[in-house]
Amino acid sequence: MEVLHTRYYAAVSSSSTSSDEYTPDNGEEVAIYEIGGNSCHLNEVKVEIKWDTEVLFVTHGDSIQKMGPDERIIRTGDGSKKLVIKLTNDCETTETVGGYYKAVVL
């Protein structure tokens, strides 16, 4: 099994977003077993982990979600759907924000 461990941290400018994407191949199954994010504890700053348009995880601070073997989030790629780490900053200042996921390709 191939292990995917993606961390994405960025200094996100005021009133903007930044993102990192992974697009699984058609038929490729991805099993996510840990997701997390780090940001200041403000509602205006958030970290999202998304599968296409489905939000899998969101935090406005520091948070980690670990999943056991029966709790893993499994998604199958079609060549166009993406696993996305999206960082949003709606504050008036630049903020350092980050997110990550750990997964295996089945």
If you average pLDDT over residues 64-88, what whole number do you get? 96
Task: Please report the domains of the chain, with CATH numbers, ordered by start residue.
Answer: 2-105 (2.60.120.230)
pLDDT in tens, 85-103: 999 999 999 999 999 999 9
Neighbours of 106 (CB within 10 A): 12
Burial profile 76-87: b = 16 or more Cβ within 10 angstroms, e = fewer = ebeeebebbbbb
- Taking 90 as the threshold, does the pLDDT of residue 1 lie above it? no
Query: 36-45, pLDDT tens digit by residue?
Result: 999 998 999 9
Q: Strands 63-66, 73-76: parallel, antiparallel or unpaired by DSSP?
A: unpaired
**Through-space distance between the first and last CA atoms of the chain, rounded to whole angstroms:** 6
How remote is the C-alpha of 10 from its chain's centroid? 13
The band of 5, judged by pLDDT with boundaries at 50, 70 and 90, is: confident
User: Collapsing DSSP states into helix, strand and coil, what is residue 100?
Assistant: strand
